[in-house]
C-alpha cells in the first residue's frame, strides 16, 4: 500500500510538473529604446558606449542583424509594433503632437488587448505617443492594466507646448517631471510588476523616453566616454540588466521572452546628441537603412540558443504575430496583419512566410520595398537635406553585399527592378480594398 501511494504521489507530482511547464504561457517583455541607432551598442560595434548587460543578452540569446522598426518615426513605429500593421493602415504617417485630435483607433486590436484576452497581466511604462486628447487613445483603454509614463516625446515641452504630464493610469501625477529620474522610475515599476505577477503570464512593454533628445541620464550615469548620449544608453543597459536579473532571481527566466529593440534610427541631425547608425546610411526620418534597421536582441534562456546570430529579416511588426502565437491565441481575422510569426527564426528553423517588407515614409507613402537581399527605393528623403544619388530613381541595392547602400545597381538588374516595382503596385492595389482605421471613422 505504501509503495502504491508513493508511486501514485510521484506520478501525480510528475503530471503536475509537466502540466506547469508545458501549459504555462511565456511571459513577454519588450524593451523599446527611442532613437537608438544600429551602431550604438557594444555588440553592434560602438567603440566607446559600454553596454555589458546587452552584451550578456546577446551572449545568452539571439542577435538580429536585419531587424527593422515599422517606421522611421516615433508614432507610426509604435503603432506598427502594437498592431502588427503597416502605419498606412492607421493613417499615422509620422508623429503626433500633444494637441493632435487623433489617436489609435478604438477598433484596433493591440498586442496588449490580445495578450489580455489570453489571460496575461499587462503593463506599459514609458513613452506612449499614440494619442492623448481622448481617454480612448490612452494605454488603459488599449489593453494595458497599468501605465506610467510621458504620453509623447520628451522634447514636447513648455514653452512650445503647454505641459509635459507624467501619467499614472489615466491620471496626471506630475507636470514637467525631472527627466533624470524617468528611466529609473520606469524600471522600478517594471520590476515591481514582474514580482507581483511572477505566478501568472504577464506582458511588459517598456518604451524608454531616451536616447531621444533632450538627454537626461540619471545622476549615477555620468562618465561615459561618449558623453551624455553614452550616459543615457548605458542607463538603459543597466535597466535591461536589472530586469534580466529579476527574472533569474524569481526563477522565471526560462519562461520569459525578452526582446530589446528601438523605435527608429538615430536622430543624426542632432550631431553629438544623436546616435549612430554604424555602417548604415542616414538615420531617423529616412527610409535608408539607418532610419529603420535597428538593434534587435531576443533572449529566452533554455529556448533561444545563446550566442546565436540571425541574419534573416525580421521587424517589430512580427513581434505581434509571434507573441500572440506563443500565447496560444489567434490573430484577429477581420483585418490584414502585416507581421509574421518569427518563432521559427528564434528557434533557428526556416521561415516559410512571405519575405517582403515595405518601408513607409513621410505622407504615408511607400518609399521602398525589400525582398530577400534586394531593396528598391522609389522615393527618398533625408532630414539632412542630402540627396545621395542626385535625383536618380528608382534605386536598387543588394543589402547582403552592400548594407551601406553605396553601390546602386538598377541598370544591371532591370528584371529585379521590374519585379519589385510590381510588388509595390500590387500592395497599393490591395490596400484599397482592405479595412483601415482612420480619423474619419471616429
**Is position 377 annotated as part of the catalytic site?**
no
CA-wise closest residue to 257 among 159, 158, 133, 345: 345
Residue 381 burial (C-beta neighbours within 10 Å; 0-12, 13-18, 19+):
buried
| HSE-CB for 387 with a 13 A CA cutoff | 5
Site for Mg ion in 244-303 (CB under 5 A): 263-264
Residue 36: CB minimum distance to Mg ion, A: 8
Q: How far is CA 226 from CA 44, 169, 232, in A?
A: 15, 35, 10
Pairing of strands 365-371, 356-361: antiparallel
**Shortest spacing between CB 284 and Mg ion, in angstroms:** 6
Binding of Mg ion at residue 156 (CB under 5 A)?
Answer: no
Catalytic residue among 46, 74, 212, 377: 74
Are 270 and 248 in contact by the 8 Å Cβ rule? The answer is no
CB of 212 to Mg ion, least distance (A): 6
Q: Which of 46, 105, 129, 212 is catalytic?
A: 129
3-state secondary structure of 9: helix
Q: How many residues bind Mg ion (CB under 5 A)?
A: 5
Among 25, 27, 29, 34, binds Mg ion (CB under 5 A): 34
By three-state DSSP, how is residue 218 classified?
coil
Each as own residue / partner, the long-range contacts of residues 365-368 (CB below 8 Å, 24 or more positions apart, any chain) are 365/93, 366/88, 366/424, 366/427, 366/428, 367/287, 368/287
Judged by CB under 5 A, the chain residues 345 through 384 that form the site for Mg ion are none
**Cα radius of gyration rounded to whole Å, the chain:** 22
Report the candidate in 388, 386, 283, 302 with the shortest Cα–Cα distance to residue 39.
283
Stretch that binds Mg ion, among 4-12, 71-79, 186-194, 364-372 (CB under 5 A): 71-79
List helix spans (H) across 327-413.
343-346
* 40 touches Mg ion by CB under 5 A: no
Interface segment toward Mg ion; rule CB under 5 A; list 32-40, 169-177, 315-323, 374-382: 32-40
Q: Measured from the CB atom, is 154 or 256 closer to Mg ion? A: 154
Q: Which is nearer to Mg ion, 35 or 40 (CB)?
A: 35
The residue among 34 and 40 lying less far from Mg ion, judged by its C-beta, is: 34
The answer to whether 74 is a known catalytic residue is yes
User: Minimal distance in Å, beta carbon 154 to Mg ion?
Assistant: 10
The full DSSP string for 104-171 is --TT---HHHHHHHTT-EEEEES---S--SSGGGSGGGGT-SEEEE-SS-TT--TTTSS--EEEETTE
Q: Which three cell numbers stand for residue 411?
A: 541598370
Shortest Cβ 396–Mg ion spacing (Å): 28
Can you tell me which residue has the cell 490580445?
114
Structure-block grid coordinates of residue 180: 533624470
Nearer Cβ to Mg ion (78/246): 78
Containing H/E element for 309? strand 308-310
**154 makes contact with Mg ion (CB under 5 A):** no
Smallest distance, Mg ion to C-beta of residue 49, A: 18
CB of 294 to Mg ion, least distance (A): 10
Contact pattern from residue 73 through residue 112 relative to Mg ion, giving x for each residue in contact according to CB under 5 A and a dash for the rest: -x--------------------------------------
User: For Mg ion, which is the closer residue by CB, 30 or 115?
Assistant: 30
Nearer to Mg ion, 74 or 396 (CB): 74
Taking the least distance from each CB to Mg ion, the nearer of 272 and 411 is 272
| CB-closest chain residue to Mg ion | 74
Q: Which of 27, 28, 35, 376 is close enough to bind Mg ion by CB under 5 A? A: 35
| Contact residues: Mg ion, CB under 5 A | 34-35, 74, 263-264
- The residues assigned a catalytic role are 74, 129
Amino acid at each position: 500500500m505504501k509503495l502504491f501511494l508513493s508511486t501514485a504521489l510521484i506520478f501525480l507530482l510528475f503530471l503536475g510538473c509537466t502540466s506547469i511547464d508545458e501549459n504555462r504561457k511565456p511571459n513577454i517583455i519588450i524593451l523599446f529604446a527611442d532613437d537608438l541607432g544600429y551602431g550604438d551598442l557594444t555588440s553592434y560595434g560602438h567603440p566607446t558606449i559600454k553596454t555589458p548587460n546587452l552584451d550578456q543578452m546577446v551572449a545568452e540569446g539571439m542577435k538580429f542583424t536585419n531587424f527593422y522598426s515599422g517606421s522611421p518615426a516615433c508614432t507610426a513605429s509604435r503603432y506598427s509594433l502594437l498592431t502588427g500593421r503597416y502605419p498606412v493602415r492607421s493613417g499615422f504617417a509620422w508623429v503626433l503632437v500633444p494637441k493632435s485630435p487623433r489617436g489609435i483607433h478604438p477598433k484596433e486590436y493591440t498586442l496588449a488587448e490580445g495578450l489580455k484576452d489570453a489571460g496575461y497581466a499587462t503593463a506599459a511604462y514609458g513613452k506612449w505617443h499614440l494619442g492623448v486628447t481622448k481617454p480612448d487613445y490612452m494605454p488603459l483603454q488599449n489593453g494595458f492594466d497599468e501605465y506610467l509614463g510621458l504620453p509623447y516625446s520628451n522634447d514636447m515641452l513648455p514653452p512650445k507646448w503647454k505641459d509635459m504630464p507624467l501619467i499614472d493610469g489615466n491620471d496626471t501625477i506630475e507636470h514637467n517631471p525631472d527627466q533624470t529620474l524617468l528611466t529609473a522610475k520606469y524600471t522600478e515599476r517594471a520590476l515591481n510588476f514582474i514580482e507581483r505577477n511572477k505566478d501568472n503570464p504577464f506582458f511588459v512593454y517598456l518604451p524608454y523616453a531616451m536616447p531621444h533628445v533632450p538627454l537626461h541620464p540619471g545622476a549615477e550615469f555620468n562618465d561615459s566616454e561618449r558623453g551624455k548620449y553614452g550616459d543615457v544608453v548605458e542607463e538603459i543597459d543597466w535597466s535591461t540588466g536589472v530586469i534580466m536579473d529579476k527574472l533569474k532571481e524569481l526563477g522565471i527566466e526560462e519562461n520569459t521572452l525578452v526582446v530589446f529593440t528601438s523605435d527608429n534610427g538615430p536622430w543624426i541631425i542632432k550631431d553629438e546628441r544623436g546616435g549612430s547608425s554604424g555602417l548604415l546610411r542616414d538615420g531617423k526620418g529616412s527610409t535608408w537603412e539607418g532610419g529603420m534597421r535597428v538593434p534587435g536582441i531576443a533572449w529566452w534562456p533554455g529556448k533561444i540558443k545563446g550566442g546565436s546570430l540571425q541574419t534573416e529579416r525580421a521587424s517589430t511588426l512580427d513581434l505581434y504575430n509571434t507573441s500572440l502565437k506563443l500565447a496560444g491565441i489567434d490573430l484577429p481575422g477581420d483585418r490584414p496583419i502585416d507581421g509574421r510569426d518569427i518563432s521559427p527564426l528564434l528557434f533557428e528553423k526556416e521561415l516559410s512566410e512571405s519575405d517582403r517588407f515595405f518601408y513607409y515614409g513621410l505622407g504615408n507613402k511607400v518609399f521602398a520595398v525589400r525582398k530577400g537581399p534586394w531593396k528598391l527605393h522609389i522615393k527618398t528623403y533625408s532630414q539632412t537635406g542630402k540627396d545621395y544619388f542626385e535625383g536618380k530613381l528608382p534605386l536598387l541595392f543588394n543589402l547582403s553585399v552592400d548594407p551601406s547602400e553605396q553601390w546602386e545597381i538598377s541598370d544591371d538588374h532591370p528584371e529585379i527592378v521590374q519585379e519589385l516595382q510590381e510588388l509595390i503596385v500590387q500592395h497599393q492595389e490591395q490596400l484599397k480594398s482592405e479595412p483601415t482605421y482612420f480619423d474619419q471613422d471616429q
